[in-house]
Amino acid sequence: MSPTAHRFPNRRRFLLGIGLLSQIAAAPKPVVITVLGDSITAGLGLPARDAMPAQLQAALGRRGVSAIVRPAGVSGDTSGGGLARVGFSVSKDTKLCVVALGGNDLLQGVDPAQTKANLRGVLQKLKARNVRAVLVGVAAPPRIGASYAREFNAIYPSLAKEFGVPLYANILAGVVGDPALMQRDGIHPNAKGAKRIGETLAAIVAKALK
C-alpha cells in the first residue's frame, strides 16, 4: 500500500484530535462553591450523595452551571463556630459561599444579637476575600416566644440588605412538617427533602454567580 493511502486517514485523526482539544479548552472550568453550615449541610443521617450540597451541585448542573459544591458543615455548629472556622473551612479557590448557620443558635436560645454579630463577622471575612455569598436563614417558630422569634427572624433580611447578598430566608421552607421530606427526628431533611432544598437554592445560587 502506498504512503498516500495512509495520509488522509492520519490527517482526519489529526484534525479530530485538534477538534477535541479545542472542545476541552473551551469547556468552562467548574466554579467552586462552599456550603458553610451545620448538620443539614453536613448531611446528618444521609449518605454524602443524598445530602444537600450534592443535591445543590446536581441541581446547578441541570441548570447548565458547572460547579463543584464542597460541604463545610459541622453537626451542632453555631454561628460562633462558623465564624471561628470560616478562614480554613472556606478554601481559597471558593467563588461563592453559601452561609447556612443559625439553626443551632435557635435550638440553644442564643441571644439573636450575638447570632447577628457572628454572621456579620462571617460575611465580613468573605467580603474581605472577594468571595461572593448567599445567606441562608432558618425560621424561628412563634412558640419559642414571640419576642425572641421576631428578633431572630429579623437577623437574615437585615444582614442580606447590609451586605447586598441574596437571601434564602428559611432553609426548611416547604420541607419542615412534611413527613415525606423529613427524617424521623423532625429536624433534618431526608434525601427527598435535601433534594427539594438543593433545587430551590440552586436558582438563587445560579443567579448570584452571574
**What amino acid is encoded at 24 in this protein?**
I
| Residue 6 falls in the annotated catalytic set | no
Selected catalytic residue, list 38, 50, 105, 188: 188
Selected catalytic residue, list 38, 39, 79, 89: 39
Task: Give catalytic residue positions.
Answer: 39, 185, 188
